[in-house]
Amino acid sequence: MPKRKSAPAEEGTQRRRSVRIASVNGTEPPKAGAKLATKKTQKTTKRSKPEEAVSSGSEPESEPQPKKSRTAKLPKTKPEPKSTKAKAKPPIPSVDSGSEKTYWLLKAEPESRLENGVDVKFSIDDLAAKTEPEPWDGIRAYAARNNLRAMKKGDLAFFYHSNCKEPGIVGTMEIVQEHSPDLSAHDPKAPYYDASSKPEDPKWSVVHVKFRSKFATPITLKDLRAMGAPGKPLENMQMLKQTRLSVSRVTAAEWEHLMGVAEEM
């Protein structure tokens, strides 16, 4: 289900955040929210981003919007060096960094909140109860979407509870299916419906995830911020720098540090 989470921006659609819907893809009702979610309606999730996944960005990546010039910018593929010739070769790391494994952090709202009349609540327990891969839908921010599109099967991600009493990382999940169109965007009844996304040219994406673990004790936002102080292990963590991004990158060092913290708690 959906979760939403994404970010911002977008308009229209955007709002929703997190949520997700389940429906579309299948099944479930919307759980929505979950993912990102955020408050308002649209919020989150969906929309945002473009660019590469990586950053936050704003651009839409590919699709971006039509509008003005802005759009496109992005290099879609990587910029590679122009130099090409000569040296360049090493460039290929292709996709990301090379070999390093990539980790992520996805936000979902564990408390009930209506988006377009649908409850977008989606907690780690909701995910743990699923018997089928869950589509992380509702992302309506290009930056968040771009991160979804950069995910590879087998990548691991933290499940973060947002817009709730105790915000924080509550467990982990695995990306079991790479991105595919977020069909919930085309459903007027879905929490994060986006009239600007056409079925023949889907604007938003989902990835399917599977529950892996629930921490005995959540790592709260307060804890995360303390570990994000200058000189500390999480000082450059994307989620602390771009607080509105519902789908962010986690480095291998950050992942390991946090998994260690979770164990001792």
Partner DNA sequence: GCCAACGTTGGC
Residue type, 167: P
Long-range contacts of 223-226 (CB under 8 A, 24+ apart): 223/168, 223/261, 224/168, 224/169
Q: How far is the CB of 90 from DNA (least distance, A)?
A: 30
* CB closer to DNA, 85 vs 190: 190
Complex with DNA: residue 44 or 123, whichever CB lies closer: 44
Residue 83 buriedness (CB in 10 A; 0-12 / 13-18 / 19+): exposed
Comparing CB distances to DNA, the nearer of 33 and 135 is 33
CB closer to DNA, 15 vs 208: 15
Q: Smallest distance, Å, CB 56 to DNA? A: 5
CA end-to-end distance (rounded Å), the chain: 29
Q: Which two tokens mark 153?
A: 């099967």
Least CB distance to DNA at residue 29 (A): 20
Binding interface with DNA (CB under 7 A): 5-12, 14-18, 36-45, 47-50, 56-60, 65, 67-70, 107, 140-143, 162-164, 167, 221-222, 225, 241-246
Side-chain half-sphere CA neighbours of 202 within 13 A: 18
